[in-house]
Each structure stands twice: as C-alpha cells, then as structure tokens.
Amino acid sequence: MAKTTGFSQLTCDRCGETIYATDNAPAAQSWRDVQRYTADGTAISRLLCPACNASYRDMAQKQDAAFGDFMAKREGEEE
C-alpha cells in the first residue's frame, strides 16, 4: 500500500466540517482564514469552509454598510 504525505486537516470553526487535502488542492484553496475585531478591539481568526464563508461574507457586507451609515452621521443629526 502506498503512503502519501503532505496532507492538512482543515476543520471549520463554525460548522465542524473536516477535510483532508494537500495545500494546493482545489478543495483546500476554497477555505478561508477570516480575521475580524471584536467590539473591544481584540483580533480573532477563524477558519471557515466554503459554505460558512459565503454566509460570513453576507453578514460582513451588511456590517460594512451599517458602519458606512454610522460614519456618515454624527450624533444629533437629523435624517
């Protein structure tokens, strides 16, 4: 039986999906290591599978829009 080395185990920090793949495999390249900051400024990093990353992107785009709205208005301004 042949032995193949050079595989990584990827486990999604959100849903728990796990794959084994080489770093240059298409399946491994579609996973994303996302970074964000908590409200108190702490940086966190999470590994997401393709499905969870798509959901994360949708959420992040909404947060980007909300932040843009926040920055465009000062306290006490009327709409």
78 found inside a domain: no
1 found inside a domain: no
Q: What is the pLDDT along the chain (79 residues), one digit of tens a residue?
A: 787 888 999 999 999 999 999 989 999 999 999 999 999 999 999 999 999 999 999 999 999 999 999 999 987 766 5
Q: Which domain holds residue 68?
A: 7-72
2 found inside a domain: no
33 found inside a domain: yes
79 found inside a domain: no
- Which residues lie closer than 8 Å to 53 by C-beta, 6 or more apart? 31, 32, 34
What pTM was estimated for this model as a whole? 0.83
Taking the C-alpha atoms of residue 64 and residue 59, their distance in angstroms, rounded to an integer, is 9
pLDDT for the residue numbered 3: 78
39 found inside a domain: yes
For residue 19, list its beta bridge partners: 10
Count: domains in the chain: 1
